[in-house]
Chains A and B, each alone.
Chain A
Amino acid sequence: MTGHVFHPGHHDLHGITVVLETEGSLWVGRFDSVTPKGVLLHDAGCYEDGVTEGTREDYLQKTLKYGVRATARNVVIPETAVKGIRQLAG
């Protein structure tokens, strides 16, 4: 079983926890796929500019230490809104 991947052929980021930035928000969640409606993330948390306490960097640092405080089991972000996407890494 070790090293076995159940779902080969998926996007390179499939299963990876990513930081996805949009104009007014930042999402952290497990990348699933790019669907016709947008980027599908699982178990995602969100930082909203002007709403969430602290800065985006504060949010990321807390997430790196304590993990993703998920507020959505599944979320789809339209591709046109995506400004950047990268792996969450310390």
Chain B
Amino acid sequence: MPYPESLVAPMRAEMTQMGATELRTVADVDAAVGGTAGTTLVFVNSVCGCAAGNARPAMQMALQHGVRPDRTVTVFAGQDLDAVARARSYFGEYQPSSPSIALLRDGEVVHFVHRHQIEGRSPQTIAADLTKAFDTHCSHSVGA
């Protein structure tokens, strides 16, 4: 059962304020993720304080990096059910968990951060994992 929108609104805002585009419908997801060339970072947001409370600040830190994906989008697990299911359909063998983070290049997952890789880790550690993936898979350098 979805949480009250008043509860999740600040968590949605935290993502959009760092530059992520929120995808709330299947059509939104297909347009932003389906068959998109280049690199796309997909953050599966969650109300879970155990893990998402570190994942969102990690995303914010990572997105300050000099090399980063062409676009960053987010869906909200447990809230926008159809959009989340559609986003996960692009993740191939990677199993659903939330929060989680997928980096896609030309529509294929090239790096995935599962919930179990977020739990108990600091935002700095999670961000370091992400920026290493950006360096490996993303050619877009800020200001280039």
* Residues in chain A within 8 A of chain B (CB atoms): 1-7, 14-17, 30, 43, 64, 66-70, 87-90
Contact = CB atoms under 8 A, between A and B. Distances in A.
B10 interface: yes
B49 A66 contact: no
A14 B50 contact: yes
Interface of B: 10-11, 14, 47-51, 53-54, 56-57, 93-97, 100, 112, 114-117, 119-120
B95 A67 contact: yes
A8 B114 CA distance: 23
A5 B47 CA distance: 9
Contact of B94 (A17, A67, A70, A88): A67
A64 B114 CA distance: 8
Given A66-B95, A70-B95, A6 B119 contact: no
17 contacts: A1-B14, A1-B56, A2-B14, A4-B49, A6-B48, A7-B49, A14-B50, A15-B50, A15-B119, A16-B119, A17-B97, A17-B119, A64-B116, A67-B100, A67-B112, A67-B114, A68-B116
